[in-house]
Structure formats: structure tokens, C-alpha cells
Structure 1
Amino acid sequence: MRIYISVDMEGITGLVDADDVQPGGRDYERGRLMMAEDVNAAVRGALAAGATDITVNDAHGPMRNLLPESLHPAVHLIRGRPKQMGMLEGLTPEHDAALFVGYHARAGALGVLSHSFMGHEIEDMWLDGRPVGEIGLAHATAAAIGVPVAVLTGDDRACTEMTEWDASVTTVAVKFARDRFSAGLRPPHEARASIEEAVAARLSAPPKAPAGAAASSTLTVRWQSASVASTLQGIPGVTSTDARTVRSEGTVPGLYRLFGVWMRVAASLTNQPPYC
């Protein structure tokens, strides 16, 4: 059984603030070790269920957060950037299931460190008219590739968002949002035991492959800056719906890759920190 793990950082056990998750932050070094321990819990659960190959993609920020020596020896780590498929780099139809570890709620939700990919630069996103953030877009892309998402871990708001998108995904809340930068925390040993147990249980009978994706979908993004939207219209196939909103049509994996290009353009124009 081949398992793929995409790991973000905002939804990791114990982390609540930008200083926990940004390089140079006061508690970043501690945060990256906490991140590794949540990943290791998921890996132990996957191995207990019979996994024979485990790929972990460091999907947060610079994508250099996980220290290889801090991970379970069974892990094959994808680290660094750029990556054409970003948070889903390395995911292929040969994987039997995907796990999303440390994920967070979308922009506008009152979840811990909530945002959609770029802090306040992205105000809203929609996939085929349905509000979406990192959770929904990653899930839809994995499904289009042919890989079911089995488990998601994060705060309670991220878990709710996942359940609303796909109720068949098992969720593990490792903390409970009180506001954007505060949470009630589960003890680390308890949270990681829950991750390990949930993954082992869910993968004991691997989820079925998702139904085929639509031939074409539409991704729409509203930016904080009209300059970003204006510049993006120079990319073939990108159209505007108003001064700050652009859209494009295509297959979901293709849109996911294209969206990565949009973010690189936006970053070059704005140079804004993600948590303001």
C-alpha cells in the first residue's frame, strides 16, 4: 500500500502564531519539531495498517521545514521549492490514499492561522462556484488524480471544513480555535495518539478511488490587489469578472498547477508577509 502525506504547518499540534510557523520566528525551531512529530504519528499509523511506501511532501511556506533526520526512517521526503504541484508535489495515481496533516481553515474562517495560500492577498476562492481554500482545492485535485483523501488533521475549524467538503474523510482535531491566533490545545501525546489511531483505522480498509473528475472546471480567485488581477490577465486563458477577480477553466490538476503560477506572480507584485 502506497501512502502520500501532504503536511502543512498551521494545523500542527500546539502551534497558534506566526512566530511558531515562519522561519526566523521566536518559536519556529520548536514548531518544525512539533510538525515532524505529527507526521511521525501519521506514519506510524500508516505502517500499522500495512503501508509499504510512504511519501511525505513538506507543503508549508518555504517547504524546507521538516528536518529529514527528525522523521521516521520509512519516510521518503520531498523538500524545497519551487514545485510544479506545490502542496501536492509527488502525488500520483499509484498512491492508494492521501493524508493531509497540519491543514488549516480557508480565508475568512475564524480558524487558527486561517488563510488561503497567501495570507491576506487572497480574499476568496471558488471552484465551480463552491467556496474553497487549501483543503478543498487539494482534495479536489487529489480526487481528479485518482487518489482518495483518507485523513485530515488540524484545528476543529479545518476539520469542519473538510467534513463539509467530503464527509467520508476522517478528521482529527489537535486543537480548538478560540480566535485566529489562539486555541485550546490537546496535550501533544494525546493529539498524536489520536492521529496514529485514526490513520491506522482508516487505512485498515483503504478508501475507494474517487469517481472521475469533470472534464473541465472553473477556478475563481478574488485578490486583495487589483494590480495582481490586472497582471494575471496577461496569462492566456485568464479572464476577469471584476477589477480584483480572475478566473480560468481547465482540468482540476491543471488549474492547481496554474494557480501556483498565479501565486508566484502575486508574490512578485506584493511582497507582503502572510499574517498581518
Structure 2
Amino acid sequence: MKLFISADIEGVTGVTSWTETNISNPESRPFIKQMEKEVNAVCEGAFIKGFNEIVVKDAHETGRNMDIHAFPEYVRLNRGWSGHPLAMIEGVDNTFEAMAFVGYHSGASKGTSPLSHSMHVSKINQISINGMEASEFLIFYYAGLYVGVPTIFVSGDEGICEEVHKVNPNIITVSTKEGFGKGTINKNPQKVLNHLKEAFNTLELDKEKYMEPLPDEFVVEINFKNPSIAYWASFYPTAKQINDTTIRYISKDYMKVLTMFSFLIQ
């Protein structure tokens, strides 16, 4: 069986400041190591469960954070960004049985993480899809369904875990920390690793529990921090500016939504 993992860092235990997420800053080094360990724990648990081929997308910032030498031989690591609209899950296709998200975080403007954002930290106040506030998890959860691959597991801050349960309560989650203002309360790193690995023990590999039909239509609204960016974005084909800082884009094809995101907010 094949598992696809998308890995981010803002939801990794301990990570609290933007400086701790920037690979060029020495402060990030222990947290990148923890990112590798958390991804590895999920790989180990998944391998024991029967996933003998795992592809990991390094989906944070440069896409070149984790060291390939940190992973066992049954894991392939997708590094960097090609420009494909699948972005944070680039490389997934319908040959995979399932997807997992590791180190994910609360969406833009949420108070449940000091690092809350959706896709672009400096551009975006909020993204919504069909009226639901859209985190990076939700954006790529839908993308997985588009290619026929359901999400079975998510780890990250308490806020994203709560969102996941609202989207599909069957998805297993592991919370790494809670966020308050500019601070976090973190779980013990080793306990988190144990929970990540053990989570797959309880996993029921029943695709029908995780697979659901995509909406017939996607109404996407992007609220930008700067009105001039909203004006610029309104010239994307079929997008419309609905107020000073917000554009609306409507499509029945989710790949067109992802393509719009790749041009406007990545």
C-alpha cells in the first residue's frame, strides 16, 4: 500500500516563533530535526500498519528543510517546488491509498496558533471555500479528494485538529500543542512521537469512511491584507473584486481553483 505525507513545520511541537521556521536562521535547527522525527514517527507507524511505500512532500517554505538521510529506505522525499498547482501535495495520484498531514497548523486569522496563516503569511487575512474558513489542510484535503485519495491522519496544533474533526470526524488526529496569543503550550516531544507512531494502531483502513464527494461548485473568497493586491488579483480570469480587500472566484473544477491559488497567493 502507498501513503502520501505532506509535512509542514508550524504545527510541530515546540515551534512558536517565525524565526524557528526559517531554515536560514540557526534557531530553526532543533525544530527542523523535530519535524523530521515527527514525520518519521508517522512513517514508522504507517509501515507497521502495512504501508510499504511512502512519499513525503516537504511542504514548508523552500521545500528543502528535511534531510533525505533521516528516512528509511521505503520513504521517498519530494523536495523543492516545481510550480505544480497541487503544491503542498505535489506527487500524489490515485495509486495512493491515503494521505496524511504532519505538522499542520491553524488557518489565517485564527487565535489558536501564533503562526496561523493560509498559504501566504504577508498577503492573506482569510480564505473561505463555500463559506468555510479555509486552512491549508482544507485546501489540500479537497485536492486529495479531487485526485481520488482520502485523508486519514492529521497532526498539528489543537486548532487544526478541531477543524479536521468538523470536516470529517473519522480522520485520526494527534495534537502537539495549544496556542494563546503569541505563545504556545507544548506537549513533551517524545510523547508526541509515541502518539504519532501509535495512532496508526487504531486506524481502520476503510476508504469509504474517509472518501466523500466534492462539492458541485466552489465559491472561493480571498481577503487580502492590502487593497492594492486585491485590485491586482481581480484581473485573474473570472475573478471579481467584491470589496476593497476581497476577491471572489467561482468554479466547478477544483483544479482550476488550485491553479488560481498558485498564481495569486503562493
Which TM-score band (shorter chain)? over 0.9
Residues 165 and 65 (structure 1 numbering): CA distance in 2 closer, same or farther, change over 3 Å? same
Q: Please report how far the alpha carbon of residue 105 of structure 1 lies from its aligned counterpart in structure 2 after TM superposition.
A: 0.3
Which residue matches 1:121?
123
Task: Give the Cα–Cα distance (whole angstroms) in 1 for the partners of residues 178 and 223 of structure 2.
Answer: 28
* Partner Cα distance (1:126, 1:223) in 2: 12
Secondary structure of the 1:35 match is helix
Amino acid at match of 1:10: E
Partner SS, residue 170 of structure 2: coil
In the alignment, residue 117 of structure 1 is paired with which amino acid? M
Distance 2:158 2:216 in 1: 33
Which segment is superposed worse, 18-27 or 62-71? 18-27
CA distance in 2, matches of 1:256, 1:162: 20
Q: Match for residue 174 of structure 1?
A: 176
1:24-173 aligned within 5 A: 24-84=24-84, 85-112=86-113, 113-173=115-175
Q: Give the match's secondary structure for 1:164.
A: helix
Task: List per-residue Cα deviations over 1:65-101 (Å, max 9, x = no partner).
Answer: 1111122332111100243121111111221110000
Q: Which residue of 2 aligns with 1:23?
A: 23
Asked whether the equivalents of residues 13 and 186 of structure 1 are also in contact (C-alpha less than 8 Å), the reply is yes
Report the Cα offset of residue 120 of structure 1.
4.1
Q: Which amino acid aligns with 2:3?
A: I
- Does residue 230 in structure 1 map to residue 244 in structure 2? no
Shift of 1:213: 1.8
How far 1:211 sits from its partner (Å)? 3.0
Asked whether the equivalents of residues 123 and 265 of structure 2 are also in contact (C-alpha less than 8 Å), the reply is: no
| Aligned residue in 1 for 2:263 | 261
Give the whole-Å Cα distance in 1 for the aligned partners of 2:200 and 2:191: 14
1:226-249 superposed Cα distances (whole Å, 9 cap, x missing partner): 111111222212211112111222
Q: 1:79 to 1:206 in 2, by over 3 A?
A: farther
Contact persistence 1:19–1:27 (CA under 8 A): yes
Q: 2 CA distance for matches of 1:197 and 1:83?
A: 35
The aligned residue for residue 189 of structure 1 is 190
Residue 258 and residue 199 in structure 1: after superposition, are their counterparts in 2 closer, same or farther (change >3 A)? farther
Provide the C-alpha distance between the structure 2 equivalents of 1:3 and 1:48, rounded to a whole number of angstroms: 12
8 Å CA contact 2:125, 2:223 repeated in 1: yes
Q: Does structure 2 conserve the Cα–Cα contact (< 8 Å) formed by 1:7 and 1:101?
A: yes
- CA distance in 1: counterparts of 2:70 and 2:226, whole angstroms: 39
Give the gaps of 5 or more residues in structure 1.
265-276
Whole-Å separation in 2 of the counterparts to 1:14 and 1:200 = 25
Shift of 1:206: 4.2
Secondary structure at 2:207 match in 1 = coil
Deviation at 1:127, TM superposition (A): 0.5
Please tell me whether the aligned partners of residues 83 and 89 of structure 1 are also in contact (alpha carbons under 8 angstroms): no
The one-letter amino acid of 1:123's match is N
For structure 2, which runs of at least 5 residues remain unmatched after alignment?
Answer: none
Query: In the alignment, residue 245 of structure 1 is paired with which amino acid?
Result: T
Q: Partner letter of residue 146 of structure 1?
A: G
| Count of residues paired in the alignment | 262
CA deviations over 1:182-228 (Å, ceiling 9, x no partner): 222211111011001113432x5243362332343121101011111
**What TM-score do you get using the length of structure 2 for normalisation?**
0.93
